[in-house]
Structure 1
Amino acid sequence: MRLVSFAGDAGARLGALTEDGSALVDIGARDRAPASMSRLLWGGSEAWSAVRAESSASAAVRLSLEEARLLAPVPDPGMLVCIGYNYFGHGDEDGAVPDHPDVFAKAPQSIIGPGDAIRLPPESNEVDYEGELAVVIGSHASRVREADALSHVAGYTILNDVSARDVQAWGSQWTLGKSFDTFGPMGPWLTTADEVPDPQALDITVECHGEVTVRSHTSRMIRSVAWLVSHVSRAIALRPGDVIATGTPGKLPGPAASGRSLSPGDTVSITYGHLGTLTSPVVSHSFRPESMSQPQER
């Protein structure tokens, strides 16, 4: 299944895309299944069964994609953990692979949905973008073995780890430079784990303003998704709805990839295999559309 969160009258609602992707089923419209992604992820097997039944029910309420404003599929993660330098060719130019990856936090408040704008903060002149595979946890995972790790994954989506490089240099920790408002575009939907039998078998393409700046493959990860889930769970008890962003490949050589920072008018599009494409326009900090003026229900 491809599951979405979309804006409803009372906050984020849960939907499932139809098979052809032209419409979505309002999962909670008939009170037969969880009405939000959070309730699904915390609801266990019974909630998942109800969602699967409602997504294919002939009497289910359907909306066209034009009628719905998609939000980040997990609009309110309990925790957003990111992995640095996890692809060969990105940060390992000397051939050395560290014993342990860089692990850092990104504030969940930075998350926005597909199509929402990245706002460039006045504090930074060096805002960069990183297209990453994001792993959504579906069941409690504490000190899990690598062999069992993927059984705790609900599904996968795409995250743009937007980063203020100059702010990152203010101190030894990266959190502030990674966590400005709008610095976490996520989407366009959650593809359930049963439709991604091997997360290390996905093509990756990133475009900035129409030019391909990244072309890679998840097989080039230094540490696999299963290894990362196991590794993080040894220190942090993962809970349903937590998200792990698995790192970005390095950019292709060329003018567009040689350190050019994002500017108003740019558009970043990130594609991971069959998981869809996450597209985000870039605007100045002063631009604040009405759709972004109200906080999401958390």
Structure 2
Amino acid sequence: MKLLNYVQDGGYKLGIHTDAGIVDVAGAAEASGQTELADLNIHQAISGGDAVLDKLLSLTDFAHGNPANSHLLLDEAGLAFGPAVTHPGKILCVGLNYRKHAEETKAAIPQTPILFSKFNNALAGHQEEVPLPAVSQQVDYEAELAIVIGRKAYNVSKEDALDYVFGYCCANDLSARDLQFRTQQWLLGKTCDKFAPVGPYLVTADEIGNPNNLRITCTVNGEVRQSSNTSDMIFHCDEIVSYISQHMTLEPGDIILTGTPEGVVLGYPPEKQVYLHAGDVVTVEIEQLGRLTNTMTL
């Protein structure tokens, strides 16, 4: 199932992506008599597990099952997307987690996952404009696979780790390099406003299978800058979830950005580095997860 958030009346509404259109969850709930689902949000869907997903599937069937219900299917082109997850308790990121990316930046291959964080101010949705900070001249793109936790995870094994994952989505770990490397702490360059677009959909884990065998690309103004596969991760998704859970409790809705492949601006020779400018359109695409597009602005 592909869940999404869209903006309506100043708030976020839950939708379900289908080939026929976006199911209006609130509308389908009211029309089908399942009024307890009318105010369902993405975090309740995540924490509700299979029981809630089964109910959402029934709403999808209801919206598709009768031509009279066609008004419950919205045109995706007319929607303003919100972040795929709107209020995560934690946004955790893994640095230098693709072997070729570590090599292009001439960094040592990490022996354990390098963790840093972003805050909720960095969240942005598909097609949302991202303001470039006036204090930075070196904003870089980073296509990433995002893991969204589905149930509380503490000290879980690698073998069981993916059982705690609700789903996956595309992410862009935008990074102001001049701020990132101003000190040994990366935070300042990583969590500027809207520096963590996630979406367009949150795709449930059952649709993905192996998250470490997905094509991942990034284009800037249509030019391919990154083209790889999540199989190049140094620490795979199960290892990442297990490792983090050994140090802190992961909660439903927490987001983990799993690192970026080679091809970022930072990896180019200095004379060829051209960082993002206002008007640049950046698209992250991951196999089975969709395309996440954002335009940079001043």
How far does the alpha carbon of each residue in 1:193-222 deviate from its partner, in whole angstroms, 9 at most, with x for none? 001001011111111112111111111111
Task: Classify 1:236/1:25 alpha carbon distance in 2 versus 1 (closer, same or farther; 3 Å).
Answer: same
Alignment-derived partner of residue 15 in structure 2? 15
Aligned residue in 2 for 1:294: none
Alpha-carbon spacing, 1:100–1:254, altered in 2? closer, same or farther (3 Å): closer
Any conservation in 2 of the 1:206–1:212 contact (CA below 8 Å)?
Answer: yes
Instruction: State the match for 2:48 in structure 1.
Output: 43
1:154 matched residue in structure 2: 166
Structure-2 residue corresponding to 1:90: 101
SS in 2 for 1:146: coil
Counterpart CA distance in 1 for 2:141 and 2:108 is 24
CA distance in 2, matches of 1:181, 1:95: 27
Aligned position for 2:87: 76
| Matched AA of 2:277 | S
Distance 1:165 1:78, change over 3 A: same
Q: Whole-Å Cα distance in 2 between the matches of residues 134 and 258 of structure 1?
A: 29
1:174-193 → structure 2 map (5 Å cutoff): 174-193=186-205
More deviation, 215-224/37-46? 37-46
Amino acid at match of 2:278: P
Q: Does 1:26 align with 2:40?
A: no
Q: What is the rounded CA distance, in whole Å, between the counterparts of 2:279 and 2:79 in structure 1? A: 25
CA contact (8 A) 1:142 1:238 kept: yes
Deviation at 1:48, TM superposition (A): 2.0
Q: How does 1:248-263 map to 2 (within 5 A)?
A: 248-251=260-263, 258-263=272-277
Correspondent of 2:281 among 267, 270, 275: 267
Q: CA separation in 1, counterparts of 2:181 and 2:206?
A: 40
Flag the 1:95–1:63 CA change in 2: closer, same or farther, 3 A.
closer
Distance 2:290 2:184 in 1: 35
Whether the aligned pair in 2 keeps the contact of 1:28 and 1:36 (CA below 8 Å) is: no
Give the unaligned 5+ runs of structure 1. 285-298
Give the drift of 1:281.
0.7
Give the superposition deviation at 1:111: 0.5
Question: Residue 3 of structure 1 contacts residue 191 of structure 1 at CA under 8 Å; is this kept in 2?
Answer: yes
Structure 2: give runs of 5+ residues left out of the alignment.
none
Cα–Cα, structure 1 residues 40 and 90, in superposed 2: closer, same or farther, change >3 Å? same
Please list, as runs of the form range in 1=range in 2, the aligned pairs for 1:1-298 lying within 5 A after superposition. Answer: 1-9=1-9, 11-18=11-18, 20=19, 22-29=20-27, 30=30, 31-33=35-37, 35-57=40-62, 58=65, 61-92=72-103, 96-251=108-263, 258-284=272-298
Greater share of helix:
2
> Which residue pairs with 1:295 in the alignment?
none
Give the Cα–Cα distance (whole angstroms) in 1 for the partners of residues 60 and 137 of structure 2: 45
RMSD, aligned CA: 2.0
Aligned AA (2:164): H
- Distance in 1 (alpha carbons) for counterparts of 2:259 and 2:242: 16
The code of the aligned residue for 1:7 comes to V
Structure 2 residue matching 1:28: 3-state secondary structure: helix
Q: Distance in 2 between matches of 1:111 and 1:259?
A: 26
Measured after TM superposition, the shift of residue 164 of structure 1 is 0.7
Q: Tell me if structure 2 keeps the 8 A contact 1:118–1:283.
A: yes
TM-score for both structures, normalised by structure 2:
0.89
Shift of 1:97: 2.7
After TM superposition, the structure 1 stretch with the greater mean CA deviation from structure 2, 84-93 or 222-231, is: 84-93
The question of whether the paired residues in 2 share the 8 Å contact of 1:73 and 1:190 is answered with yes
Separation of aligned partners in 1, 2:94 and 2:272? 22
Instruction: Report SS of the residue matched to 1:114.
Output: coil
Matching residue's letter, 2:138:
E
**CA 1:165–1:193: 2 relative to 1, 3 Å:** same
SS at match of 1:155: strand
Q: CA deviation at 1:98?
A: 2.4
